[in-house]
């Protein structure tokens, strides 16, 4: 049959591109990759700073949003999610953070055998082509080029010195032996250009005879024969198409769309399914629960010198920067969402950093849309690394065209509130240090009137945003409430796996794209090992 394959991968984002490459590599298996968006090609994708043009573009962004919730002052919070081959690696800030070893050891301690740090380190190393790799923890030669930010303005160096003055160490490689400290971010770029998952993993293998790619194909349900997944039904160019899987259907649609597709297929919490008018095919109450994301506040200061991106991206300065980038692939157009990193412990008795900082010499008139101020400014994003709060992602109807209903439940626990407040206070203390004297102007947001813990928490509730690290909605585990087992198979069903950020039992301590690359690399190995056992 023309539409019959060994493996069907639903979702052409970060994980899907890795899976398509690895599952088709041996040539023995036919693989179909299904992506609802287009091929993801755009000059704005290639230019690192172009992410600001993509965050509101429906061609490249699903433009999801949260439900209003009391803890975040009933605001609707924008939730970008990449659309097209490459997924969120087309529009994210390119920041590459593995997380802390204890993140993965914690997964193993929860019953996820084979997911401790020693188990996953080889997969991180398989991914990486890090140009400063040194020692046993980093690697060169992988598909994904990684480099430390090359543009290093003096204001960024002053911020690192200020952190040192406040008692925080300098750290050249937060993906190495220790995450603690301050330095410059690592990003997935080559020669000043963004390298998406599609560029790294999919483009080199597109011509494989055993790999088929459907774009513009919206999956609307998984086909089941009893307890076995047998295929996927999609809509492409207004026509319904069916693809059959001889071996497995692999869901890689991410923490929002993977649970949505499962529920549309009758797999999930019976109450949720019945409320949406869907017959129950398989009870799995954990689907759509355990939603975790990183919540971030952005503190802003005026800068007393014209050395920020606010003025560098206007008029003649912008023309010069465009010419510089066109000729040399250098300059301000190589920036993503972070210049200087900070990983801090808000208490001395915790095992690893619990707050991450993102310093950039820019300030925003509209942070959600990355519209810059006209006057010089700088921004420091503050996020709690290991939130306790858990939300939900569920369907609201049986219409596949409708977005899922997203309830993040941010700032729902005292510890989440405390860590955010302490992280912001520590950030203010860093900026107050002498090395920042030459640049520091008035604090714009939250401003000097913010002094008490109650003031800080109210600022967080009024102004915080997600930083697009959705995870956890198809939690991996060995307990009855887990959605997938440690081999990423959906419990109680055959021929159906999940390989994306939704399987994380807890969120990793940092930006999530590196962990998703790792999950996909390991997931591909798990699938291929099972294939070898069947032959």
- Structure tokens belonging to residue 320: 């010069």
Listed in sequence order, the residues at least 6 apart from 212 whose beta carbon sits closer than 8 Å to its beta carbon are: 5, 30, 31, 32, 33
Q: Are 379 and 443 in contact (CB under 8 A)?
A: no
Q: What residue has token string 């959600």?
A: 368
Buried b (16+ CB within 10 A) or exposed e, 261-291: bbbbbbbbbeebbeebebeebbebebbbbbb
Residue 209: how many other CB atoms lie within 10 Å: 8
Q: Please name every residue paired with 8 in a beta bridge, in sequence order, or none if there are none.
A: 32, 249
Angle between helices 453-463 and 414-431 (to 10 degrees): 100
Angle between helices 154-165 and 414-431 (to 10 degrees): 110
Listed in sequence order, the residues at least 6 apart from 484 whose beta carbon sits closer than 8 Å to its beta carbon are: 474, 475, 476, 477, 490, 491, 497, 498, 503
- Structure tokens belonging to residue 306: 């014209």
Cα–Cα distance for residue pair 475/481, rounded to 1 Å: 9
Cα–Cα distance for residue pair 117/108, rounded to 1 Å: 9
Q: Are 481 and 111 in contact (CB under 8 A)?
A: no
Cα–Cα distance for residue pair 37/25, rounded to 1 Å: 24
From the list 269, 90, 288, the residue with the least C-alpha distance to 197 is 90
Q: How far is CA 284 from CA 18, 211, 262, 280, 450, in A?
A: 27, 32, 10, 10, 45
Angle between helices 101-109 and 117-127 (to 10 degrees): 130
Listed in sequence order, the residues at least 6 apart from 526 whose beta carbon sits closer than 8 Å to its beta carbon are: 487, 488, 497
From the list 361, 321, 319, the residue with the least C-alpha distance to 153 is 361
Cα–Cα distance for residue pair 276/375, rounded to 1 Å: 49
Using left for φ > 0, alpha for ψ between -120 and 50, and beta otherwise, residue 114 falls in left
Which residues participate in catalysis according to the annotation? 469
Listed in sequence order, the residues at least 6 apart from 506 whose beta carbon sits closer than 8 Å to its beta carbon are: 103, 106, 107, 110, 292, 386, 472
Q: How far is CA 407 from CA 304, 414, 451, 467, 530, in A?
A: 40, 19, 30, 15, 36
């Amino acid at each position: 049959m023309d539409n019959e394959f060994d493996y069907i991968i639903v979702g052409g984002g970060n994980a899907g591109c890795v899976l398509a490459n690895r599952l088709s590599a041996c040539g023995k298996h036919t693989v179909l990759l299904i992506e609802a968006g287009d091929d993801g090609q755009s000059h704005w994708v290639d230019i690192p700073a172009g992410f600001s043009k993509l965050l509101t573009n429906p061609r490249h962004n699903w433009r999801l949003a949260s439900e209003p919730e009391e803890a975040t002052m009933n605001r609707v919070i924008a939730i970008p999610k990449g659309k097209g081959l490459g997924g969120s690696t087309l529009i994210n800030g390119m920041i590459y953070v593995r997380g802390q070893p204890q993140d993965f050891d914690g997964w193993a301690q929860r019953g996820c055998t084979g997911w401790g740090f020693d188990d996953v380190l080889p997969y991180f190393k398989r991914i990486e082509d890090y140009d400063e790799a040194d020692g046993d923890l980093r690697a060169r030669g992988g598909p994904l080029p990684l480099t430390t930010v090359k543009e290093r303005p003096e204001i960024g160096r002053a911020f690192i010195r200020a952190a040192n003055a406040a008692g925080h160490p300098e750290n050249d490689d937060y993906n190495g032996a220790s995450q603690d400290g301050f330095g410059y971010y690592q990003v997935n770029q080559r020669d000043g250009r963004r390298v998406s998952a599609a560029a790294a993993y999919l483009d080199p293998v597109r011509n494989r005879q055993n790999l088929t790619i459907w774009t513009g194909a919206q999956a609307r349900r998984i086909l089941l024969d009893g307890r076995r997944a047998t295929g996927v039904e999609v809509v492409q160019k207004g026509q319904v198409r069916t693809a059959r899987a001889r071996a497995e259907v692999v869901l890689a649609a991410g923490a929002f769309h993977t649970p949505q597709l499962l529920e549309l297929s009758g797999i999930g919490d019976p109450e949720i399914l019945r409320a949406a008018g869907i017959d129950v095919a398989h009870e799995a109450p954990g689907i759509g629960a355990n939603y975790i994301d990183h919540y971030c506040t952005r503190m802003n200061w005026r800068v007393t010198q014209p050395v920020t991106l606010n003025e560098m991206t206007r008029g003649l300065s912008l023309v010069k920067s465009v010419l510089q980038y066109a000729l040399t692939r250098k300059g301000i157009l190589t920036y993503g969402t972070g210049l200087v990193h900070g990983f801090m412990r808000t208490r001395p008795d915790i095992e690893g950093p619990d707050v991450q900082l993102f310093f950039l010499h820019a300030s925003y008139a509209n942070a959600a849309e990355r519209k810059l101020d006209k006057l010089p400014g700088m921004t420091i994003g503050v996020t709690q690394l290991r939130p306790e709060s858990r939300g939900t992602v569920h369907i609201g109807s049986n219409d596949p065209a409708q977005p899922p209903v997203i309830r993040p439940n941010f700032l729902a626990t005292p510890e989440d509130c405390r860590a955010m407040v302490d992280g912001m206070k520590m950030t203010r203390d860093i900026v107050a240090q002498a090395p920042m004297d030459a640049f520091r102007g008035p604090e714009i947001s939250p401003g000097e009137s913010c002094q008490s813990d109650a003031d800080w928490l109210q600022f967080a509730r009024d102004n915080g945003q997600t930083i697009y690290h959705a995870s956890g909605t198809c939690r991996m585990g060995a307990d009855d409430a887990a959605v997938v087992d440690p081999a990423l198979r959906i419990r109680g069903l055959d021929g159906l796996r999940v390989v994306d950020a939704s399987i994380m039992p807890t969120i990793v301590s940092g930006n999530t794209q590196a962990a998703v690359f790792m999950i996909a690399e390991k997931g591909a190995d798990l699938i291929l090992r099972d294939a070898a056992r069947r032959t």
